[in-house]
Structure 1
């Protein structure tokens, strides 16, 4: 039976309190082991379906049809490779990326890494604030400003989960993912995409991202798909499974966790692709090529599709997306704070601090720009995430390639080549975007 935490514990959000809390019997059949290892990948995948993805995918589909669909696919494949590195690091070392960074780098360097990781958490939470606020606005008719204020009360949800075990949280995440997935299946049935054109969009094309605007969106999609704080998160939560410290047990745990990771991120890929396909089919194909706001997408869906059900499902799945991302953001924040600073605070305090910092730009943006702030801030938040990514990737790749740390589980030559290539591509794309933004090169 899985170990039950006492009701006074701050689990499931405090990683140090749930480490080794899910027992995996050595002699269990393969299907039972798969079921026991399933879960961490689901929590990580939630971060790949947050409202920031909606903003980038909707704008990409509306403006450019299916032509940027291959960016979603390639970004998801990159995410699978990188999350598998983080997962393997946590299982083999028994420590997470933040803890190892604190131990292996000088204090000033580790503090800079911590600050950048916290910025990525706040950028992600900003997307969740805006997405949740917009969902409240669409479903209940309140003003967007009040919607932003309502999102502050998700701290109560975090408090309500106090004392639950980690498997309970994973089950809740599965239910929210199922809600989002089912909603989009119904919406795609209603929209009826042109599937040959969808297949054509899967073919990589340099021309599709040659200009400044499509490149900006492509990097936004990348930032929304490969999230830096998810690397810290994954390296920690895989340690919730009890694994013997023998080579064979570690190898088995890595294989089973890899299945969990890839299967979960495939679900995220399908949902992200569905968002872009929905926007391309409903808006771009009908001449609405300037739908850059989630609210505009909601307003246009009913008249274009011919039923209000599509719009209602759209808002419900948006709300599920924002709330589910809140949970994983809280856990990631705890991992980063405990790992880099060796500091543990109650989960509701961590949630309150992060949400307060995200509310400030959200309230300022909505106050100054009104509803039009949502789309701009969402896409900008995803680009910020992408800009932070190399600073989490570099230590992750270095550590998983270190045989002194990883032993026989260190990256092989082919893996090294692939992940360093990803690091180079991501860093180069970010540099290009910055240079274009400040006008040093043409778009």
Structure 2
């Protein structure tokens, strides 16, 4: 069975419009969803720490990270466009199950670390703007679970427009901040000269890289580009690669400008005034008012922080869906996926606040970004293997020079990660005196290195094996003798809306003269949900009358038909009636609910399909 990435919106955006500008704008969007991960609250902590402690000296790290991000995101987009696979799917089809499971766990850890930064950032923003205690702000962030569900019903383009709007708020806020600060540009330019003053600067630099080049964004981008419907010939693929590179260049440069603005703001306000201890977002907010003497600056700072966190939370959930479906081929309800992801972030945040107090939140933010950096190699190495493989990519495999540059970037990132891991591990071991803990740390470091070696070596030996043709079906396939199925009892679930006509006509189209049609409707009144079959309220009687009307109309056209009312849980009731009536085919309609009911009832079709063992036709 073919598994498509983000199946709900797969190839849902038409790129072959009549107007040239319409074709161009149709491609723009995916990179903006990716770019919010490059300006999320986790970046703020590392940028503030770098700017306040070292002035403009780490600006070059931001620029280098942005160039790395542009290279890697363009490779991820190329993978999705050419092979029609996201990074998680390509890994599943290449690596052994055990390695895949570990890679899946690491990807989930990266997403949890990302969401942790978003939770803390939004909670801090709410606190700064309203004065609400941090612990309550963290608890309230679970409510944004419903935002993604609300946006999803309007399609990918509306979601992209919403994200771009939030990005515009962040960008505008910092543009005004810089106009208020007026940094000395000659000193800013010197910050692009590479230098690492000390080991603490290295730790912050790695944190900046981890906050900028984010592993979950590689999974996300390779899936989002597949929402565009393109011509699968050489010209169409080449155009898609070009347009997505332009999209990435614009979006990531905007993200770089936001990050640079944060670091420059910290350097110009805090470093210059001798406040090199400012690494906390809360401190930065408070000192902006005191040092600038302007009430607008801290308000803009808080608003931008909330917008950054809110935009990142949407893309984080999408990445989680891609990772889970790609590695495990397991699809769960979006609201459940969102709640699980959010709880994984909220729980450590709450524990930190309750146990250590608000003062350790900044350290937790920086640590989350360093944790992200540790996952990078396990996303980048497979990606480079995949886009370098001429057997799978054909003429769209990356050129030798790009390949060399990609491996140099990867080597640099892996070296920095290994250096930091071993430095931190040995520093910790020297102070514990606990042999069991020391042994555990050594085993973890060894495991880290072994997994890196496997991710590098395994695709090299797999690449030339015939059974490693990811996503390519076996050449010799026999369909055998095929006969059109004949259905004797066709069930149809009706919601008494304008869609009923389509449902009934599709059901009849799959039947014949001997077919009997079972019309099902689930009563949704409060009385029906409480009393079930014993319910005799007005809505139940009206629903029965409507069902009888449909049956009479069908019988007048020579069809055999009967009606059955169901009560309480929609999906389970439909499945129960289908089984009791021995139906051999089921026709379902797209639900007619909006808002909260869309969240409540919107997954009926998916749930029914899991509960029945007969063909199901979903009429949109």
Per the normalisation by structure 1, the TM-score is 0.94
1:353 pairs with one of 326, 329, 340: 340
The structural deviation recorded for 1:255 is 0.3
Q: State the match for 1:20 in structure 2.
A: 11
Q: State the match for 1:403 in structure 2.
A: 390
Structural mapping, 1:150-189, within 5 Å: 150-189=140-179
- Aligned counterparts of 1:225 and 1:159: Cα–Cα separation in 2: 27
- Aligned counterparts of 2:114 and 2:22: Cα–Cα separation in 1: 34
1:254 pairs with one of 241, 248, 263: 241
- Aligned counterparts of 1:243 and 1:122: Cα–Cα separation in 2: 33
Q: Is 1:69 aligned with 2:59?
A: yes
The structural deviation recorded for 1:439 is 3.6
Q: State the match for 2:443 in structure 1.
A: none
- Aligned counterparts of 1:315 and 1:381: Cα–Cα separation in 2: 21
Is 2:81–2:225's contact at 8 Å kept on the other side of the alignment? Answer: yes
Is 2:152–2:159's contact at 8 Å kept on the other side of the alignment? Answer: no
The structural deviation recorded for 1:109 is 1.0
2:403 pairs with one of 409, 412, 416: 416
Structural mapping, 1:75-224, within 5 Å: 75-205=65-195, 209-224=196-211
SS in structure 2 at match of 1:283: helix
Evaluate the alpha carbon distance shift between residue 201 and residue 21 of structure 1 in structure 2; reply closer, same or farther with a 3 A threshold: same
Is 1:212–1:436's contact at 8 Å kept on the other side of the alignment? Answer: no
1:54 pairs with one of 44, 50, 53: 44
Give 5+ residue unaligned stretches, structure 2. 431-620
What are the superposed Cα offsets for residues 154-208 of structure 1, whole Å, 9 maximum, x if unpaired? Answer: 1122232241110000000110000000000000011111111001001222xxx
Is 1:21–1:240's contact at 8 Å kept on the other side of the alignment? Answer: yes
What are the superposed Cα offsets for residues 19-55 of structure 1, whole Å, 9 maximum, x if unpaired? Answer: 10000116541x3222110000000000000000000
Is 1:212–1:433's contact at 8 Å kept on the other side of the alignment? Answer: no
- Aligned counterparts of 2:117 and 2:188: Cα–Cα separation in 1: 27
- Aligned counterparts of 2:270 and 2:80: Cα–Cα separation in 1: 43
Q: State the match for 2:290 in structure 1.
A: 303
- Aligned counterparts of 2:150 and 2:30: Cα–Cα separation in 1: 21
Structural mapping, 1:299-338, within 5 Å: 299-338=286-325
Per the normalisation by structure 2, the TM-score is 0.68
2:376 pairs with one of 372, 375, 389: 389
- Aligned counterparts of 1:211 and 1:251: Cα–Cα separation in 2: 45
SS in structure 2 at match of 1:280: helix
Q: State the match for 2:363 in structure 1.
A: 376
| 305-314 or 368-377, larger mean C-alpha shift | 368-377
Q: Is 1:270 aligned with 2:257?
A: yes
Q: What is the RMSD of the two structures over their aligned residues, measured on CA atoms?
A: 1.3
Q: Comparing both chains, which one has the higher relative contact order based on Cα–Cα distances under 8 Å and sequence gaps of 6 or more?
A: 1
4+ residue runs over 3 A deviation:
439-442
- Aligned counterparts of 1:76 and 1:347: Cα–Cα separation in 2: 31
Is 1:62–1:292's contact at 8 Å kept on the other side of the alignment? Answer: yes
- Aligned counterparts of 1:409 and 1:66: Cα–Cα separation in 2: 40
Q: State the match for 2:462 in structure 1.
A: none
Is 2:51–2:265's contact at 8 Å kept on the other side of the alignment? Answer: yes
Is 2:230–2:237's contact at 8 Å kept on the other side of the alignment? Answer: yes
- Aligned counterparts of 2:151 and 2:399: Cα–Cα separation in 1: 41
Give 5+ residue unaligned stretches, structure 1. 1-13
Q: Is 1:33 aligned with 2:20?
A: no
SS in structure 2 at match of 1:286: coil
| 429-438 or 272-281, larger mean C-alpha shift | 429-438
| 80-89 or 210-219, larger mean C-alpha shift | 210-219
- Aligned counterparts of 2:295 and 2:423: Cα–Cα separation in 1: 41
Is 2:325–2:331's contact at 8 Å kept on the other side of the alignment? Answer: yes
Task: Compare the two structures and name the one with the higher strand fraction.
Answer: 2
Task: State which structure, 1 or 2, has the greater radius of gyration over its C-alpha atoms.
Answer: 2
- Aligned counterparts of 2:85 and 2:414: Cα–Cα separation in 1: 27
